[in-house]
Amino acid sequence: MKMKRPIGIVLAILLVLFSLTACQSESTVPTDNTGTTTAEKSDIYRFEDYASNEVFDIVKVNLSEELASKCTSYRFTYLSDGLKINAYISIPNAMAQTQRPGKCLMYNHGGNRDYGKLETETTAHACTLCDRIVIASQYRGCGGSEGIDQFGGDDLHDVIKLIDLCENRFSFIDMDDFCVLGASRGGVMTFPAARQDSRIKRIIALSAVTDLVDCYESRDEYMRNVLLETIGSTPQENPEEYQKRSAVYWADEIKVPVLFIHSREDQRVSYRQAEELYNKLKDHTDCRFISHDDDYHAVPQQDDIAAIREWLNDPA
């Protein structure tokens, strides 16, 4: 009987220690104020978790079945110069499964004000074509965003601010190869951004505007009125405002590779704009030019998609 008592005491002590250890292990699992554990929120691609005072109104987009099988899209709002700017982001499902930061393509759309605004599945289509995260701004004065469209004036801040968020807020984006595609008016947003922001590594210019003076002089009265209303003057009245939006006037400041895609019979943005900028760039940066003998505008053709994929995957 005297031999059993110490064994019983030891067993009791061990049981107490085990209980304390179990309780301690359970209590040290990090939780948020909803009781959700950190392990349950470890998905770096769950975009809802990036809500902040700068990024809000995050809503998951209902995509078509085909697109939903390939990517996940969100609509969100961010602040730029104190204005609420709407935007979209689409993420390849396969990339999200890796839980590693992925490469990104910013899409700068064309048009003015609500004409040419992003549609619900715009970034999703681009995402499935290029196998990259695709992010895009509606710009101010467009698609429900606050502010006034200035056709490459202060609305350029909306593009730069979105790049800031990609770098500083969205940890799932790899900034080492941040590329931008500018379509039509998107060229006015893309080239000036690259002029001042070294985070842009490469550009795809799809029927891109690179000379607004030429646009004003070659287009019809409707387009001249659009430029007058958004910029506030004609090229004759204020040439500086047109030139600062037009890469052809400061081509030597474009240091990144550019893939040009343009149709010879384009009636909205003349082929000579792309040709002139390409000739000014080709001697000091890596450029490629794809031309088509038709009048397509800002719509990639089947061969273009393969070329864009190649350009994004193999910049050399």
List of residues 6+ apart from 296 with CB closer than 8 A: 207, 263, 266
Q: At what angle do helices 186-196 and 156-168 cross, to 10 degrees?
A: 60
CA-wise closest residue to 182 among 272, 282, 298: 298
Which residues lie across from 90 on neighbouring strands? 73, 134
Q: What is the CATH number of domain 50-313?
A: 3.40.50.1820
Task: Name the strand (E) or helix (H) holding 65.
Answer: helix 65-68
Structure tokens at 287: 């450029």
CA distance 153 to 193: 11
Verdict on whether the full-model pTM lies above 0.75:
yes
**Residue 146, burial from CB neighbour count under 10 angstroms (0-12, 13-18, 19+):** middle
Q: In whole angstroms, what is the distance from residue 241 CA to residue 239 CA?
A: 6
Q: What is the pLDDT of residues 173-226, one digit of tens each?
A: 999 999 999 999 999 999 999 999 999 999 999 999 999 999 999 999 999 999
Q: 140 and 146 in contact (C-beta within 8 Å)?
A: yes
Answer for the pair 178, 134: CB distance below 8 angstroms, yes or no. no
Nearest to 183 by CA among 144, 209, 150, 148: 209
Reported as type and span, the H/E element at residue 9 is helix 4-27
| Closest C-alpha to 87, from 145, 45, 130, 48 | 145
How would you list the strands of the sheet with 102-108, edge to edge?
A: 55-60, 71-80, 83-92, 133-137, 102-108, 173-183, 202-206, 258-263, 287-292
The pLDDT value recorded for residue 314 is: 74
pLDDT of residue 1: 40
**Which residues, 6 or more positions from 15, have their beta carbon under 8 angstroms from its beta carbon?**
none
Cα torsion 117, 68, 168, 77: sign? positive
Is residue 52 within 8 A of residue 100, CB to CB? The reply is no
Closest by alpha carbon to 152, among 230, 68, 59?
230
Residue 15 has a pLDDT of 34
pLDDT score recorded for residue 201: 97
Handedness of CA 262, 264, 268, 272 (dihedral sign): positive
What ranges do the domains of the chain cover?
Answer: 1-42, 50-313
Low-confidence ranges of the chain (pLDDT < 50): 1-40
